[in-house]
Structure 1
């Protein structure tokens, strides 16, 4: 049985409790981060902390735990649960108060919950075989750049993809791809340029996205941050997604249109290898 962390205590998962008056439960008034673990070490952890603080600042949510304390909690959970490969999920909400749309952040104690999930990340069916994608209309709220726990529509998009026989969905607004249901979206043009949508309120500033682009640029890979249509994506030489739990995931079809011969493309797999190699050098 897993050990989880709830508001200062390490407890068995079946004893973990959060109030029914927690605003995360009542209003999705909370933020989260997911950090990958490889060899018992955290991947891109400082960047995850930076984004946690950015999300909190955007929502006016108080963060009481220091970065050092958050790192220590992550490491303790990894140790207690014997996680060699997997993820640590961290969620912070505004806290507990009687149900009211208005709130007083200063008078509430933020709720902090963390738990681990043990699962393969380096060798997966997605990394070996690629994934199929379908396009779904993007009807999310206007602040997709904040990593909040209000994930109902991305969940529905993922389920729609599965109902259509695909692995996942890319969200499309005004004909242009924004991002995946839980990832950032990339295409590779015929002349080898990596294309991804520029940062804005329309997409999450992905930690893996940022790290991969930095590593790729250092090798001389050409990168263009611009919007691209779902039709351009179908005509691309390759496509892939990035996220903390997938790293670099090859896309082999979009809306039934096969890419890169129906198998992971060489540019994508090269980028995946680069990301894993470089991120492990910086693991915490």
Structure 2
């Protein structure tokens, strides 16, 4: 069985979902896009993963802000306002009768190309928009079990050639890192930055706990994760020392606890890194404490809408 932060409980309703593709609602098996799509041809696109909790799109303002920033950075002209895109997402949820424990993937590519090419001037359509909403509840078994990490030789890129903050379709280097980890017998990959400091994981952000302090990377070489930011906010609100700093594998191997964060899985404990067990010798679990504080922030966001 595949084990990792994206493990979800099986839900047969997903076999019959309707997917939004450029103004149409299509059954899962019929949801297709042209082979000349720029996202397929050269990974030229951006995306967001959003959670629906109790009928509310959680932290939607932050997700839309990040998408609009990515579009501006990549020169993709969005033909919708944020309000219009939210309306389309709600249409998808309505037609699929979805209210809770839903994961939404919003994908925008530059459009259809005249011919296979990187050149954006050969794009002959407006941007393509696909919205996939699935009934997805994170596996409690996976959360309780925790995950193992393997440090990949694939580095997180420097901001001057592919900024790690950009949530784009070009994910091959992260896939390569994950393949290394899987082949090494781990669940997911830990990735270092170009200077050799711990940066992030292939699909989640990394945190460690050392003597009552929560550490995460500087943020210069990792995805600017929404959940990452919320965990940092939860720490600051509750007087938990939290530092965005450079640290190495030397520090990680002696950590009291480690965990990763992501929109889908929330906080997932890490129990082994490069074959070394991460054993909490303290009286309390920071992962459990921060998970509860993170859930409080979700509830606060739901209540304010």
TM-score, normalised by the number of residues in structure 2? 0.86
Matches within 5 A, 1:47-196: 47-83=62-98, 84-98=100-114, 99-104=116-121, 108-121=125-138, 124-142=140-158, 143-173=163-193, 174-190=195-211, 192-196=212-216
Q: Does 1:240 align with 2:259?
A: yes
Change in CA separation of 1:106 and 1:151 when aligned onto 2, cut-off 3 Å: closer
Shift of 1:113: 0.4
Post-superposition Cα deviations, 1:190-212, rounded to whole Å, max 9, x if no partner, equal 2x111111122x21111111112
* Structure 1 residue runs without a partner (length 5+): none
C-alpha change, 1:136 and 1:125, in structure 2 (3 Å) is: same
Q: 1:164 to 1:82 in 2, by over 3 A?
A: farther
Query: What's the offset of the Cα at 1:52?
Result: 0.3
Alignment check: 8 A CA contact 2:149 2:270 kept: yes
- 230 and 249 in structure 1: CA distance in 2 versus 1, 3 angstrom threshold: same
| 1:118 CA drift (Å) | 1.6
User: SS in structure 2 opposite 1:195?
Assistant: strand
Corresponding residue pairs, total: 280
The CA distance in 1 between the partners of 2:290 and 2:259, in whole Å, is: 10
SS at 2:65 equivalent:
helix
C-alpha distance in 1 between matches for 2:61 and 2:180: 34
- Which stretch has the larger CA shift, 4-13 or 165-174? 165-174
Alpha-carbon distance in structure 2 between the residues aligned to 1:15 and 1:107: 23
Q: Give the equivalent residue in structure 1 for 2:9.
A: none
Moved over 4 A (4+): none
Q: 1:82 to 1:230 in 2, by over 3 A?
A: farther
Secondary structure at 1:133 match in 2: strand
Q: CA deviation at 1:127?
A: 2.2
Give the RMSD, CA atoms, in angstroms.
2.0
Change (3 A) 1:105 1:249: farther
SS of residue matched to 1:104: helix
Q: 1:216 aligns with which of 231, 235, 251?
A: 235
Q: CA separation in 2, counterparts of 1:253 and 1:154?
A: 20
Contact 1:127/1:249 (8 A) holds in 2: yes
1:40–1:85 contact (8 Å) kept in structure 2: no
What is aligned with 1:255?
274
CA distance in structure 2 between the partners assigned to 1:282 and 1:206 by the alignment: 17
Alpha-carbon offset, residue 261 of structure 1: 4.5
